[in-house]
A = this chain, B = another copy of it.
Amino acid sequence: MNKVFKALNDETRRSILHLLREKSMNAGQIAEQFDMSKPSISHHLDLLYQAELVTKAKKGQFIHYSINTTVLEDLFEWLITLKK
């Protein structure tokens, strides 16, 4: 869960998750949505990937990113036990 909380502790990464909730996208398409360099977005995508909040799949020269809600379930559980 450490990596999940770490990944969520950034506004850009949270925005990326909201984008991917609407539809899966290439790294480039994601980067277009932000006023930030591509390497920076790539770095954010990597942290989301390490936390398993997104999956990625190579499609030719593109890399397609999708949200992975499995880990969000775990976060739900964590919150529930905290609320009792």
Contact = CB atoms under 8 A, between A and B. Distances in A.
In the complex, the count of this chain's copies comes to: 2
Most B CB atoms within 10 A — which of A6, A10, A79? Answer: A79
Contact of A82 (B5, B21, B82): B21
A interface bracket (residues with beta carbon within 8 Å of B): 20 to 34
B82 A17 contact: yes
A83 interface: yes
Contacts of A5: 5, 8-10, 14
A63 interface: no
B79 A79 contact: yes
A10 B5 CA distance: 8
Interface of A: 2, 5-6, 8-11, 14, 17-18, 21, 67, 69, 72, 75-76, 79, 81-84
